[in-house]
């Protein structure tokens, strides 16, 4: 039975890291209707920044973590300014493709740095001994990851519900024209959405990098890995991303824990999310919590 509970706990932990990775996606999509395929690269850049700051510039890790979030905040904002601002109002396919182009460009830039081809790992800061209770264990890194996820997601939820800026962002996502007519600067909102996505990507990168080590291939793969999460939750729902992240984490853990090895199956954890995603989409075409758009001719 403790095996079962371990799977549940691991699933929740992994799921909340997925949720954090997915958060950036959702923020961008929510405000500007852009599907950012280069998100994996943002995650990788966030992780590399934390490493560069802590190990090469000897900045204390906590400050490095915050500093990298600030840096990616501005970096993502300028990415939006340079690459996406011109494409406001273009068809979806152009906007998707521009993020694909962006992905390649960021790849190129990362290959210029040592991170493109050399592996690193964060110095151990947190205690190695896990927290155990009744045969179930969770590592400090993971726990901190979950806490950061909760803080960030709570923060963003509050931001969208209460702050003026957050409300103006929601207004833009609801109706750009109407938002403009009451004096909200739409481009500024888009820039801000990207900046916040960059910030959350840096946080996700730092946590994933702590768990997997800093390998460019592994980190950028998360850009694709979180697709089922965001779609399942509904592209524009922060809450949906959390629920879907945890569902996906649980599915993966249970698939790995119970399916693999049965009937000659293997590696099901990688494919099952997509299968379940397809099935759910057939019944809920806008994901679990996505907005149903009312289309008019």
Partner 1 sequence: MKHMKIFLIGIAVVCLLLAAAGPSRAEVIKIALSLAMSGPTSDAGQPYAKGVEDFFKYVNEEKLLGKDTIDCTIRDDQYKNDVTKRNFEEFLDMGIPIYLNYSTGSTLALKRDFEEEKIPTLPASFHRGNVEDSNYIFLPIASYSEQCIGLAEYIARHFDGGKAKVALFIHPSAFGRGPVADLEKAMAAGLNIEIVETVEHGTDLDSTATLQRLMSKGVQFVIAQTVQSPVATFLNDAERLGIIAQTFGEKDKITFMGAHYTGGTDLIALAGSAAENFFWTTSYRLTSVPGVGTEAQLALAERYGRDDKTANSHNYTNGIMVAQVAFEAIRRCKAKGNPVNRVNLTAELNQMNGLNAFYPVTTVGPVTYSATDRAGVDSLQLYRVQDGQWHAVDAPFRSEYMRKVE
Partner 2 sequence: MSANRWLATGNFFTSYREEQRIFFTHLDRLVFVAVLVLLFAWPLFFELSNKYMLVVNHTLIAVVAVMGLNIVTGYAGLISIGHAAFVGVGAYTVAGLATTLGDSHKLITHAWPLMIVLSGGMGALFGAFVGLPALRLKHLYLAIATLSFQMIFEWVIHFMGFFNQGQTIYIGRVHWLTGEVGRSSHYVFWYYASLVVVVITGFGIRNLMRTRFGRCLIAVRDNDRAADAMGMHPGLTKVYAFALAGFMAGLAGALHAYLYRGVGIESFTLHHSITYLAMAIVGGLGTLHGAFWGPAAIEFLDIQVEHLSAWAAQIFPAQGNLATALRPFSFGLVIVLFLMFEPRGIANWWRIARSYVKLWPFRY
**Distance in angstroms (rounded) separating the CA atoms of residues 292 and 179:** 20
Structure tokens at 40: 């994996």
Query: Binding partner of residue 87 among partner 2, partner 1, none, CB under 5 to 8 Å per kind?
Result: partner 2
DSSP codes joined into one string, 170-196 = HHHHH-HHHHHHTT--HHHHHHHHHHH
- Answer for which of 3, 62, 78, 108 binds partner 2 (CB under 8 A) is 108
Beta bridge partners of 214: 120
Q: Confirm or reject binding of residue 51 to partner 1 (CB under 8 A).
A: no
Residue closest to 222 by CA, chosen among 21, 20, 15 = 21
CB of 17 to partner 1, least distance (A): 6
Distance (Å, rounded) from C-alpha 115 to C-alpha 113? 5
Across the strands, what pairs with 120?
214
User: Considering CB under 8 A, how many residues would be counted as binding partner 1?
Assistant: 50
SS3 of residue 222 by DSSP: helix
Binding of residue 253 to partner 1 (CB under 8 A): yes
Region binding partner 1 by CB under 8 A among candidate stretches 9-17, 86-94, 151-159, 166-174 = 9-17
The reply to whether 117 sits near partner 2 by the rule CB under 8 A is yes
Contact pattern for partner 2 over residues 226 through 245, marking x by CB under 8 A: -xx--x---x----------
Contacts 24+ apart (CB under 8 A), 256-261: 257/3, 257/7
Within the chain, what is the greatest distance between any pair of CA atoms? 61
Which range touches partner 1 (CB under 8 A), out of 90-98, 110-118, 152-160, 286-294? 110-118
Spell out, one character per residue from 13 to 42, where the chain touches partner 1: x when CB under 8 A holds, - when not.
xx--x-------------------------
Q: Is 267 in the site for partner 2 (CB under 8 A)?
A: yes
Task: Find out whether 28 and 194 touch, Cβ atoms under 8 Å.
Answer: yes
Q: Which does 130 bind (CB under 5 to 8 A by kind): partner 2, partner 1, none?
A: partner 1
Indicate whether 281 belongs to the interface with partner 2 (CB under 8 A).
yes
Residue 199: name the closest of 297, 73, 91, 88 by CA: 73
Q: Smallest gap, in angstroms, from Cβ of residue 135 to partner 2?
A: 32
Is residue 266 close enough to count as binding partner 2 by CB under 8 A? yes
User: Judged by CB under 8 A, does residue 48 bind partner 1?
Assistant: no
From 160, 194, 222, 289, residue interacting with partner 1 (rule: CB under 8 A): 222
Judged by DSSP in three states, 137 sits in strand
Nearest to 172 by CA among 155, 192, 156: 192
> Interface residues with partner 1 (CB under 8 A)?
2-3, 6-7, 9-10, 13-14, 17, 107, 111, 114, 116-124, 128-130, 137-139, 142, 208, 211-218, 221-222, 225, 252-253, 256-257, 260-261, 266-267, 269-270
């Amino acid at each position: 039975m403790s095996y079962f509970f371990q799977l549940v706990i691991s699933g929740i932990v992994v799921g909340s890291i997925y949720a954090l990775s997915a958060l950036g996606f959702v923020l961008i999509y929510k405000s500007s209707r852009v599907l950012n395929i280069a998100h994996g690269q943002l995650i990788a850049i966030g992780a590399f920044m934390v490493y560069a700051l802590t190990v090469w510039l000897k900045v204390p890790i906590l400050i490095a973590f915050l500093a990298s979030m600030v840096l990616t905040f501005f970096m993502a904002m300028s990415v939006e300014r340079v690459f996406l601002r011109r494409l406001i109002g273009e068809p979806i396919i152009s906007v998707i493709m521009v993020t694909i182009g962006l992905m390649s460009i960021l790849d190129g830039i990362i290959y210029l740095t040592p991170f493109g081809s050399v592996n690193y790992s964060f110095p151990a800061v947190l205690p190695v001994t896990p927290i155990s209770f009744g045969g179930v264990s969770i590592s400090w890194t993971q726990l901190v990851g979950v806490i950061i996820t909760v803080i960030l997601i709570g923060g963003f939820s509050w931001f969208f519900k209460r702050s003026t800026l957050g409300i103006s962002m929601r207004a833009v996502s609801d109706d750009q024209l109407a938002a403009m007519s009451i004096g909200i600067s739409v481009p500024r909102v888009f820039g801000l959405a990207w900046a916040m996505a960059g910030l959350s990507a840096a946080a996700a990168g730092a946590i994933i990098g702590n768990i997997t080590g800093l390998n460019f291939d592994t980190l950028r793969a998360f850009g694709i890995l979180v697709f089922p999460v965001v779609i399942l939750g509904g592209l524009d729902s922060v809450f949906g991303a959390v629920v879907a992240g945890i569902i996906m984490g649980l599915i993966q853990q249970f698939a790995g824990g119970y399916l693999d090895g049965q009937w000659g199956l293997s590696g099901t954890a990688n494919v099952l999310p997509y299968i379940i995603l397809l099935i759910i989409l057939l019944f809920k075409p806008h994901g679990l919590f996505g907005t149903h758009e009312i289309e008019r001719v």
